[in-house]
Amino acid sequence: MRLRTTAVVGALLLLTGCGAADMTKQASPFANAQGAKTVTLSVQSWVGAQANVAVAEYLLEHELGYRVDTVQVDEVPAWDALSQGRVDAILEDWGHPEQEQRYVKDKKTIAHGGDLGVTGHIGWFVPTYFAKQHPDVTDWKNLDKYASQLRTPESGGKGQLLDGSPSYVTNDKALVKNLDLDYQVVFAGSEAAQITQIRQFAKERKPFLTYWYTPQWLFEKVPMTEVKLPPYEEGCDADPEKVACAYPHTPLQKYLNADFARNGGEAAALLKNFKWTTEDQNQVSLMIADQKLTPQEAAKKWVNGHESTWRAWLP
């Protein structure tokens, strides 16, 4: 017994004693299998991000001969994974100043990869059919009037403001409080749940108020109109507790692992050059989410039709 214990301790010491191991520089075990050059991309859970990744993946595989692994990670953890090199790139980031400060500026483990070309915007939306019936609903000041129509069992006596995935940037709780609205924020917990719920509402032509963002393919299926919140001014969202203004318009960014950016060769170059428009992205998203094409098929379709766009990205 004692002999075995000694052996185990010895093995541990041997294992740990023979040098430092930096687990922040560590690739996925599934990467580069069978001698292929592999790029690992982070996919966020929303479909726009899937569209970016699908097209990049298609080009990397078919034009440059890489093998692409995708990992679905939420935004903040994705930054962490990116800094450790477990993923090589994030293609769509909605702005995480804290992480940027830490990883890009301080630790320099992440490099900025340029604009995606798409501008993102978060806001509150009501379905267009409802906005047409009640045009004044599109101003936040009138929202309380409609609270009773927007009630659900989940929101209790108040109107329901449907929020999405916990990974999304949201000030809605503070907004409802600070604007003194008769609403209850209900978190769908995931974008999938939120979309499903929105489509069910739309099918029944029921009114609803939801946190949503553009670009998003869902607008093609369920036309929605934004509700005007107090206008955004620089710094008005500095204190998350006291926010009482709209969300900003954000040019979406790409980020690359710093090592990958330096040594990633053609793949890194392609990902840095990758830049397309909101319409392009929506086209692919819609194929994925609504026509239920696999991301690969959707990407193939788009690539076949937009050669001029992507030719420019190739190194």
Summarize as ranges the residues that interact with another protein (CB under 8 A).
1, 15-17, 20-30, 33-34, 43, 45-47, 50, 69-81, 84, 86, 102, 152-154, 156, 162, 165-167, 186-197, 200, 203-204, 288-289, 292, 294
Of 40 and 225, CB closest to another protein: 40
Minimum gap (Å) between residue 119 Cβ and another protein:
22
CB 116 within 8 A of CB 52: yes
Q: Which is nearer to another protein, 33 or 312 (CB)?
A: 33
Tell me whether residue 10 or residue 156 sits nearer to another protein (CB atom). 156
Cβ distance to another protein smaller for residue 272 or 285: 285
Measured between alpha carbons, how far is 178 from 167 in angstroms, rounded to an integer? 22
Q: Which is nearer to another protein, 40 or 253 (CB)?
A: 40
Q: How far is the CB of 298 from another protein (least distance, A)?
A: 11
Kindly state the smallest distance separating residue 189's Cβ from another protein, in Å: 4
Q: How far is the CB of 233 from another protein (least distance, A)?
A: 25
State which residue, 51 or 313, has the beta carbon closest to another protein: 51
Show contacts of 259-263: CB within 8 Å, 24+ apart. 259/25, 259/85, 260/39, 260/85, 260/88, 260/89, 261/111, 261/113, 262/111
- Shortest Cβ 207–another protein spacing (Å): 14
**Smallest gap, in angstroms, from Cβ of residue 36 to another protein?**
11
Instruction: Give the span between the Cα atoms of 172 and 211, in whole angstroms.
Output: 8
Long-range contacts of 22-26 (CB under 8 A, 24+ apart): 23/84, 24/83, 24/84, 24/85, 24/109, 25/84, 25/85, 25/259, 26/84, 26/85, 26/86
* Least separation in angstroms between CB 228 and another protein: 25
CB 147, min distance to another protein, A:
17
Distance, in Å, from the CA atom of 301 to the CA atom of 315, rounded to the nearest integer, reads 22
Which of 86, 272 has the CB closer to another protein? 86
Instruction: Tell me the residue type at 70.
Output: T
Q: How far is the CB of 302 from another protein (least distance, A)?
A: 16
Separation of alpha carbons 184 and 158, rounded Å:
6
Q: Which is nearer to another protein, 102 or 300 (CB)?
A: 102
Q: Cβ closer to another protein: 190 or 309?
A: 190
What φ, ψ does residue 126 adopt, rounded to 5°? -120, 155
Residue tagged 């329901």 (tokens): 160
